[in-house]
A = this chain, B = another copy of it.
């Protein structure tokens, strides 16, 4: 079995990914993001998205309860429904789930988020952000064994019954780890990890387990989190993580055939 993460950045068309999955001769689980659409809908609703940067240089969304509401509307409501609908049109009996459903993604809420602004360190409290501590693999197996294709997205659930924002790439890594997937395919709007972000030809094609820290030096922005997710998946026993573009005719098959950046 494989886990596919479909990114939510602008410029990603899901059609080729879904058609590829519909014809894949192997069970799969799909996890999707939705950052660009969340920004767009939030602005239409009059909520301006805000982000903070951690001391490690990772960006994260400031998530109050209004943002959680917008995440539920956009990720679970609009994007997840649309992926399920398109898969159904392709003959795949998809079932959409957020991390709340069946306690699929159980998370612990972060007490505070450290961030840096103008060189000074601050603490953000009362944020609805968390990290996944367990995945309900039994629910996923139940659905797969009965012919359903689970399509997963944010938010996650705390043991206290709060909805929290979690990182989608790390969520996909947690799903791959919990379900014993042989590979995690992370599809986005870039071809993989590039030495030079402006030059697709500078792609790093293979990264060994021991080379992740060195590779991190080439990563910018979201790519840093993808490498972190990759290291978490590998540490939990997933054999291969492939970072590849969603924008080819057969993005999943191409990635499994070795296109993109293969981390193993």
A residues near B (Cβ < 8 Å) are 41, 44-46, 69, 72-78, 80-82, 84-86, 88-90, 93-98, 100-103, 139, 142, 146, 148, 155, 157, 160-163
A-B contact pairs, 8 of them (CB 8 A): A41-B73, A45-B45, A72-B77, A72-B82, A76-B77, A85-B161, A88-B103, A93-B102
List chain B residues, Cβ under 8 A from A74: 73, 77
From residue A31, how far is it (CB to closest CB) to chain B in Å?
A: 16
Chain A interface secondary structure, helix, strand, loop or mixed?
helix
List chain B residues, Cβ under 8 A from A41: 45, 73
List chain B residues, Cβ under 8 A from A103: 88, 93
From residue A209, how far is it (CB to closest CB) to chain B in Å?
A: 37
From residue A3, how far is it (CB to closest CB) to chain B in Å?
A: 19
> In the complex, A89 Cα to B162 Cα: how many Å?
8
The residue from B69, B146, B157, B160 contacting A78, defined by CB atoms under 8 A apart:
B69
